[in-house]
Amino acid sequence: MELFLIFIGAVLVNNFVLTRFLGICPFLGQSQNMKLAFGMGMSVIFVMTLTSITTNLIHTYILVPLELKYLVTVSFILVIASLVQLVDIVLQKLMPMLHQSMGIYLVLITTNCAILGLALLNVVKEYNFAKSLVFGFSAGVGFTLALIIIAGIRERLELADIPKPLRGFPITLIIAGLLSIAFMGFTGLVKM
Amino acid sequence: MRLWHEFNKGIIKQNPVLRLVLGMCPTLAVTTSAINGFAMGCSVIFVLLCSNIIISLFRRVIPIKVRIPVFIVIIATFVTTVDLVMAGYFPEIHKVLGIFVPLIVVNCIVLGRAEAFASRRSIISSIADALGMGIGFTLTLVILGSVREIFGSGTIFGADILMRFSYHKFGIMLLPPGAFIALGLLMGLMNKLTKETS
């Protein structure tokens, strides 16, 4: 039950993009069309779940016993960077088809603050293994949801007559604000 | 003259937030008040300055193939320093900024400047570049923080401005939607103003 609450909480109530402001860069940069957004979203779900598990194991079995907690930031970012690289190589060997459609996004993911943010949030919230797994997966789903919604809106927006200074990023930010208001409607759904 | 140019460009012409659209996450997340924006800006200036100096010093030694991991480790070291110093001396601000202090590691501004500038220029121009970009970032954060604070709580840097006129607080400006909308409008305003002057 608690795991389900974490899922709902991360997807709807505390959406990573719209409420926690993590992963704004890909949210603005990779949301021009649905196909791009979907590819990016799937890669993020995959990497987020993997990162969440790995960093949790490293934190509980290496950093805490050795009292190296101050190395959290350094070690997590290195783990994420090498993990993304590893996924890239493994995919290229085993599933070249999937790699072709996902490859370009993988490179961008290392510097996606949502991934490191997720790993750090796991530490702050003191989640155990199962909870980190669910939290990682649902954070990815929440990110994908927000990305796909905004991509859908931006596709329609190309036909709209927008004041010149607001074209591009400014109007996307304003739409994100309106979407964020909509997501605020979910507040209180889960007591975190 | 050239140094002045390296310094100057970060503030308006290539403002990291409003022009290059980098470092959006901390910009949106921490600007609930002007002082929070200022604290975040100062941390970024420190990290940017130190990492630019170190990377510029070692630019001939770092092998090209592994340069990104090396940059990340250098940046992460300074971020950890800031994080621990802030937790020790300014625990309240550290609590508000939360995970966004360690997240400076993945702030695209810092890594972007390391890759695009410090790894190929002399140390002096790297310092000028870091200061310019850092100040441009801080200015944007303080402006956005002030706007949100004035509308959201009627104060600026904690000093009363609108409250004495029995101002009705526009609370949504302090919540996530306010951040998105305020930044969107600020960016639009910047586009409008710079287009007219140029």
Chain segment B3-52, per-residue pLDDT in tens:
888 888 878 788 888 888 888 888 888 888 899 999 999 999 999 999 99
Q: Does A192 score more than 70 pLDDT?
A: no
Burial class (CB in 10 A: 0-12, 13-18, 19+), B52: buried
Q: Does A93 score more than 60 pLDDT?
A: yes
| Mean pLDDT in residue range A71-75 | 88
Contact B176 A19 (CB under 8 A): yes
Nearest CA in chain B to A21: B25
The pLDDT assigned to B198 comes to: 47
| Mean pLDDT in residue range A175-191 | 84
Q: How many CB atoms lie within 10 A of CB A62?
A: 12
| B155, β-bridge pairs | B160
The pLDDT assigned to A191 comes to: 62
Q: Quick check: helix, strand or coil at residue B66? A: helix
Contact B107 A166 (CB under 8 A): no
User: Rg of chain A over CA atoms, in angstroms?
Assistant: 17
- Please list every residue in chain A whose beta carbon sits closer than 8 Å to the beta carbon of residue B191: 164-166, 170
Residues B117/B55, Cβ–Cβ less than 8 Å: no
User: Rg of chain B over CA atoms, in angstroms?
Assistant: 18
The pLDDT assigned to A102 comes to: 67
Most A CBs within 10 Å: which of B27, B79, B101, B105, as the mutation test of the A interface?
A: B105
At B159, which helix (H) or strand (E)? strand B159-160
CA B163 to chain centre: 29
A178 touches chain B (CB under 8 A): yes
A24 touches chain B (CB under 8 A): yes
A21 touches chain B (CB under 8 A): yes
Residue B157: what are its φ and ψ, rounded to 5°? 50, 35
Whole-angstrom Cα distance, residue B117 to residue B22? Answer: 15
CA A172 to chain centre: 18
Q: What is the DSSP letter of A162?
A: -
pLDDT band at A188 (very low <50, low <70, confident <90, very high): confident
Give the model confidence (pLDDT) of B122-139 as tens digits. Answer: 888 899 989 999 999 999
- Domain positions in chain A are 2-184
Give the pair of three-digit tokens for residue B34. Answer: 């002007």
CA B62 to chain centre: 27
